[in-house]
Amino acid sequence: MPKPLNVFISYAHKDGAKLASQLQADLTARGYDTWLDQARLQGGSNWSREIEEALDNADVVLALLSAGSFESEVCRGEQLRSLRHRKCVIPVLVHVRADRPVYLEVRQYRDFSEPELYSLRLEDLIRDIESRSGADLAPGFRKTRYDTVPPLPANFVSRPAELESLRQVVLSDRERRNVALVALRGMGGIGKTVLAQALCRDEAVQAAFPDGVLWVKVGEKPTDADLVGQMREAAKALGSSAEGFDTLEASSKLLRTLLKDKAALLVLDDVWHANHVYDFQPGDARFCRLLFTTRNAEIGAAIGAHGHSLDVLAEEQARRLLATYAGRSEEELPGEAAGILHECKGLPLALAMIGAMLREEPPRRWADVLDSLTRIPQLRLSESRGRNRGERQGSPAGGAEALFRSCGLA
């Protein structure tokens, strides 16, 4: 017997759950292997690895289009990811007047809006499934646009658990939530910028925000001209010209206008002042999200952002990071590495810095560095600046110490 076709049913909890369950029951009865996100039936779900795996295993994806799915970045993500992976995506209308996503190039929609016609439509749908007759990805969405996201570091070490939990905050299908603004918080050097970059490069995130994932470098004291420059870049990334982006005020308004009906993710990196978040805030753009990284926990709280804290690396990852920067395999790390790992307390910046410094160095140098590290007053894992600055200059770990100091760690 041939393997049954795998049918993934993509729907929004808000107004697609009933039809989704009905289709699942009927298609299962006809011998199809169906999958739908059960968590969503109960009232919302996040993007998950299960969704990703189920999508990848699917032969056919039914995209239930409703007001709710139009708003949901999880639904958008499911639809776009399947289109990009060249799955057969069949659009199914829950409501006749449901907004139709612009990235779907569709020959026909299967209209399930009238319950009396359900059985007839089901037969049409089964014909579509059998003949794999679905939608294509609209031409404008086939190529990557103007990309503002900086590349990941050459020695990038992935942090799957951290990426997943951040993604969960940004991609969710919940009715009552307040995550339009997310603050990724943590001390300097803990890896906020790199994690945010990895998020921007994540396929599910890119699929959920088809109009663009925009990167904006803010910093401690940007001038108005710096911010205007960044807003122009954001406009270009949205496929628009930067005409009229002159003053900060005008640019801020123009950007907000551009974002109004778009599904875009804005990432503001290294924010020190709440004002800079306000400058870029997409206002009432329903499908946009803004994520910013900051060392200052107070900013997020002050503007009502959802706070998400990043912690130091787990031991295993810290070891991998040190080894990667030192250009060795983990097995090749000298015995002194254990002490260095202990002293660096899982802080990526410190590990990267020391690893790079010890690249191609003999174990004797590792011992020297470890020795100086143990003499630096406790590496302080806090946001405040430490004491004893200016001491022990010229020690073998002087570079690392200067670096710790510059982040307020030593």
Ligand X SMILES: Nc1ncnc2c1ncn2[C@@H]1O[C@H](COP(=O)(O)OP(=O)(O)O)[C@@H](O)[C@H]1O
Closest CB 368 distance from ligand X, rounded Å: 22
Contact 80, 105 (CB under 8 A): no
Which region among 4-12, 192-200, 219-227, 323-331 touches Mg ion (by CB under 5 A)? 192-200
Q: How many residues does the chain have?
A: 410
Q: Give rounded-to-5 percent helix, strand, coil for the chain.
A: 45, 15, 40
Residue 321 touches which of ligand X, Mg ion, none (Cβ within 5-8 Å per kind): ligand X
Closest CB 344 distance from ligand X, rounded Å: 11
The C-alpha atoms of residue 349 and residue 110 are separated, in whole angstroms, by 53
The token pair at 269 is 């990196």
The C-alpha atoms of residue 283 and residue 132 are separated, in whole angstroms, by 41
Assess 354 for contact with ligand X (CB under 6 A): no
Which region among 50-58, 104-112, 187-195, 254-262 touches ligand X (by CB under 6 A)? 187-195
Binding residue for ligand X (CB under 6 A) from 69, 193, 281, 294?
193
Q: What 3-state DSSP class applies to 117? A: helix
Beta strand 212-219 with 264-271 is parallel
Assess 197 for contact with Mg ion (CB under 5 A): no
Closest CB 355 distance from ligand X, rounded Å: 9
Q: Which residue is nearest to Mg ion (CB)?
A: 193
Closest CB 293 distance from Mg ion, rounded Å: 6
Assess 185 for contact with ligand X (CB under 6 A): no
User: To which residue do tokens 């600046």 refer?
Assistant: 385
Strand locations in 75-222 (E): 88-93, 104-105, 110-111, 136-137, 172-173, 181-185, 212-219
Closest CB 26 distance from ligand X, rounded Å: 46
Binding residue for Mg ion (CB under 5 A) from 10, 193, 252, 324?
193
Closest CB 304 distance from ligand X, rounded Å: 22
Closest CA to 370 of 380, 384, 357, 383: 357
Q: How many residues bind Mg ion (CB under 5 A)?
A: 2
Assess 321 for contact with ligand X (CB under 6 A): yes
Cβ proximity to ligand X: between 125 and 403 the closer is 403
Assess 186 for contact with ligand X (CB under 6 A): yes
Q: What is the DSSP string of 361-382?
A: --HHHHHHHHHHHHHSS----S
Helices 49-57 and 73-84, interaxial angle, to 10°?
40
Write out the binding residues for Mg ion, residues 270-289 only, by CB under 5 A. 270
Assess 191 for contact with ligand X (CB under 6 A): yes
Residue 77 touches which of ligand X, Mg ion, none (Cβ within 5-8 Å per kind): none
Phi/psi of residue 324, each to 5°?
-60, -45
Q: What 3-state DSSP class applies to 243? A: coil
Assess 312 for contact with ligand X (CB under 6 A): no
Assess 192 for contact with ligand X (CB under 6 A): yes
Closest CA to 355 of 396, 378, 380, 324: 324
Residue 91 touches which of Mg ion, ligand X, none (Cβ within 5-8 Å per kind): none
Going 366 to 369 to 374 to 379, the CA torsion angle's sign is: negative
User: Which stretches of the chain bind Mg ion, using CB under 5 A?
Assistant: 193, 270
Contact positions vs ligand X (CB under 6 A): 153, 155-157, 159, 186, 188-194, 293, 321, 348-349, 352
